[in-house]
Chains A and B, each alone.
Chain A
Amino acid sequence: MDEARTMLDKIWSEHVIVPRAGGEELLFVDLNLVHEGGTFLAFDQLRTEGRKVRRPQQTLAVTDHYLPSVNRAAGPAGIANPAIRNVVEWLAENTREFGIAHIGMDHPDQGITHVIGPELGLTQPGLLITCCDSHTATQGAMGALAIPIGQSNQERHVLATQTLWQRKPKTMRISIEGALQPHVTAKDVILALIARIGIGGAVGHAVEYAGSTIRAMSMEARLTICNMSIEAGARIGMIAPDDTTYEYLQGRAYAPKGPDWDTALRYWQTLPSDPRAEFDRELTLDAGALAPMVSWGTSPEDSSPISERVPDPSEIHDLERRRRVERALEYMQLEPGTPLSSIAVNRVFIGSCTNARIEDLRAAAQVVRGRRTTVPAIVVPGSTGVKRQAEAEGLDRIFLAAGFEWRDSSCSMCGGSNGDTVARGERSASTTNRNFEGRQGPGALTHIMSPAMAAAAAVTGRLTDVRSLAG
């Protein structure tokens, strides 16, 4: 084997059961993560067909999307909305019936699936992981091949067979180079990238993020980068494992132990792309000059440095893009030319699989320490474990003293499945991944940004350059 291979090539070939050059290949799934959103449809269908879950030991269910972020001690009975309560209860019932381990609402490990996968050491380099969620690529930051699947038909297929038909995507290496300026974070990097290549910029490709900026990032920052791969159009995002990955992983609950660790480590070290491996596309982003970013429109590609203004559609030459920006500004109730830092917000949400890990909460807490919020603001930790850690560090007291609500882990106001929504016409500063129309609730006006930037907005009540608050 002297042919130079990419990391995707290596992990992919390790999992091919039925090869079909150029077509869809049957892949073995190491770990299938199931959440409650929509998957009741998959179980409905399995039950109707009289089928079983083929490998329950390689399946883990996690409740996250529909969990209330308050009043959790009351259990499902405390969920006032019966439609939401149903979804939570259906997953508990289905996992019992089909013999699947379940991290439910009162479990000490509960959290957002893409947060607890890495946190528990379930996510490991070289694994093929499926999850019925478009942000599954998050886990690719650890050198796993993490593939999003549909919540019903595809989920049913993985449950019933422990395999997945996939056509091998093209490869795209995005090299991000340079040292980040102070207060510029992984979120700003990925928003800047998406603003440059567009929401369809990487469609059909598995993205490998590389370069000095990525190598210098913590594991958690890398998770934020891979998380938003789908917002660049890529279902798969990956980062080669290195010492940062191994140090993060070692000792976690489900990480290999003892001699297994050594064997695994030797294998993981073979996974990074070979130096001469060729990618179908290459792109380089200079991150050294980036500033904190905010979105102003209704797609993550509609993002700009906070120092800029709302764009003027009349200056956009591409007709389709001009029409889309016009429509976005109409929805967002924004006038062209408005300085982004003058846009007032009604509420702030710090949470989601993008930005609710411990480092995110530390960054936000550092901004609000000793200050007061001027608008309603909530923090929803990415996992119950993150919440415990934050409380051990006293972050909860900083947030509470500043006027934030300190809640329980849930996907919460990211998509609003649990009823935590932004009201029609309300403008939110949010650490989430999507600012699509209605994403946080019908008529909600969403601006996405980093945790520190959202914290700054909570303090001033408008979109704010966090650097102007830094002491």
Chain B
Amino acid sequence: MEAFTTLTAIAAPLDIAKLDTGMIVPGRFQRIRRRPGQADYYSKVFLHDLRFDEHGKSRPEFVLNQPAYQGARILITGADFGCGSSRESAAYAVLDFGVRALIGASFGDVFVGNCMQNGIVPAVLPGEIVQALFRQLKTAPGSTMTVDLPAQTVTAADSTTYRFEIDATRKERLMNGLDDVGATLGHLSRIEAFEAAYRVRVPWRATKM
């Protein structure tokens, strides 16, 4: 996973509330393996039914299809972005589309965990600030914003800076691009000691498949 420190990029206003993971990646696109060279596939399916009509033609009116927002790497999202099913392909699609930071008032719980596991920073800001960011970006389409993870700040197009909160462990791993399995297995001796004691404490739980 790619380390994240500071990102300055075009920000796109995705001003639709409750865009669920089934809209981010419709179920019919979940059947392809993601291997090097195939990442492009997940980029194509990102918000597919909003970006493309039923004949596969680009919907020019949709925000991400407008010229000003091409290359956007930051999305300002409506409330509850990523609610719904736990499909991790939703986070892949965000990432493969090129987006590394999401800014919104709230996110789906499972989705937000998946984003951080994939190197995407979710910045939660109060709803009125998110509304202000929407207005700014719509007034000046194609503006850039900055997400500074070490400082835990978002800097808007008008240079106003807002602080966001993020779990300290997650932050450290995002900043170091640390493989989570490797980090966990650093605790292997504690895991094994726990298991040995646990088997004694609750012997009937020794699951046998």
**What residues make up the interface of A, taking CB atoms closer than 8 Å to B?**
17-18, 20, 23-24, 26, 28, 30-31, 37-38, 40-41, 44, 49, 51, 56-60, 83-84, 86-87, 101, 122, 124, 126-127, 132-134, 148-157, 160-163, 165, 167, 199-200, 203-204, 230, 233, 235, 254, 256, 260-261, 263-264, 267, 299, 320, 323-324, 415-417, 424, 434, 436-439, 442-443
**At the interface with chain A, which of B69-77, B153-161, B198-206?**
B198-206
Q: A24-B169, A150-B91 are in contact. Are A86 and B31 (CB under 8 A)?
A: yes
B207-A57 in contact (CB<8A) = yes
A203-B180 in contact (CB<8A) = no
Total residue contacts A-B, CB cutoff 8 A: 179
Would you give the shortest CB distance from B135 to chain A, in whole angstroms? 14
Would you give the shortest CB distance from A131 to chain B, in whole angstroms? 9
Picked from A44, A124, A165, A264, the residue with its CB within 8 Å of the CB of B184 is A165
Closest to A85 in B: B31
Q: A133-B86, A324-B17 are in contact. Are A163 and B191 (CB under 8 A)?
A: yes
Would you give the shortest CB distance from A248 to chain B, in whole angstroms? 17
Residues of A within 8 A of B78 (CB): 320
B133 contacts the other chain (CB 8 A): no
Picked from A26, A264, A442, the residue with its CB within 8 Å of the CB of B49 is A442
B57 contacts the other chain (CB 8 A): no
**What residues make up the interface of B, taking CB atoms closer than 8 Å to A?**
17-18, 20, 22-23, 26-28, 30-35, 49, 54, 78-80, 83-89, 91-92, 106, 109-110, 113-114, 117-118, 167-170, 180-181, 184-185, 187, 190-191, 194-195, 198, 202-205, 207-209
Would you give the shortest CB distance from A114 to chain B, in whole angstroms? 13
A44-B34 in contact (CB<8A) = yes
* Cα(A278)–Cα(B6), bound, Å: 41
Would you give the shortest CB distance from A371 to chain B, in whole angstroms? 33
Q: A199-B80, A200-B106 are in contact. Are A157 and B209 (CB under 8 A)?
A: no
B79-A200 in contact (CB<8A) = yes
Closest to B202 in A: A267
Residues of B within 8 A of A59 (CB): 209
B23-A438 in contact (CB<8A) = yes
Q: A134-B85, A324-B17 are in contact. Are A153 and B114 (CB under 8 A)?
A: yes
Would you give the shortest CB distance from A183 to chain B, in whole angstroms? 29
Residues of A within 8 A of B185 (CB): 160-161
Residues of A within 8 A of B110 (CB): 134, 148-150, 230, 235
* Cα(A17)–Cα(B186), bound, Å: 13
Would you give the shortest CB distance from A466 to chain B, in whole angstroms? 28
Picked from B28, B203, B209, the residue with its CB within 8 Å of the CB of A60 is B209
Residues of A within 8 A of B17 (CB): 320, 323-324
Would you give the shortest CB distance from B170 to chain A, in whole angstroms? 7
